[in-house]
Amino acid sequence: MLVLGGCASRGELDISESGAGVTAVRTPCPTVGVPAGTGDLTTFDPVTSRDATAIDVVAAMTDVRSTCNNDGESTQVVTNITFTVLARRARADGARDVTLPYFVTVVQGGNAVVAKHVGRVVVHFDAGQTRASVNGSATASVDRSAATLSDEVKRRITEKRKAGKESAAVDPLSAPDVRNAVLRATFEALVGFQLTDDQLKYNATR
């Protein structure tokens, strides 16, 4: 489940006298989002405790934005992702750097991971301060040919359908081959904190 949407497809209904059809305005740029449960990170001291009094650092990923290079010339569609990490620590005694891992992954068809990269951001807390922030960035690449529908599939989706005809009442995406082709050409670029199993469980149950 995504908690943020980015580039997406849209459609417009054509109701001209010649018939009705869907004019699909589609982009090979992936949808950008944060998977639910991965936008927050909590560390404990001691690490084995889960008591509220043992919380050490709490971080949240926010302000996720993306720009997509879709000039039509390159074989790769490159999406640049930026985000901000807001962090809070329990103790403000001295200056401290906290390294937080994050991931960016490319998912095809809703469930197939085709690429993943793990990076790190370092949050710096000044002495006496309990709050800090840092900006991060990531890049995701998608093969343009894989994210582009074939001319035949596009024709079936956008062909004119005259009112009163049986075909006018049939959604072209209800055809399994068309639906599967659209699904295969749909990509997501997901970014979030690289959490341990215990951290994922904590986020799901807190």
pLDDT digits (tens, 9 = 90+) for 176-186: 888 888 889 99
pLDDT tens per residue, range 61-76: 999 999 998 877 789 9
Averaged pLDDT for residues 45-72? 93
The band of 150, judged by pLDDT with boundaries at 50, 70 and 90, is: confident
pLDDT of residue 178: 83
pTM of the model: 0.80
pLDDT higher than 50, residue 3: no
Percent of the chain with pLDDT over 90: 62
pLDDT higher than 50, residue 189: yes
Q: Which of 4-8, 97-101, 140-144, 152-156 is predicted least confidently?
A: 4-8
When the pLDDT of each residue in the chain is averaged and rounded to a whole number, the result is 84
pLDDT tens per residue, range 108-131: 998 899 999 999 999 999 999 999
SS3 category, 80: strand
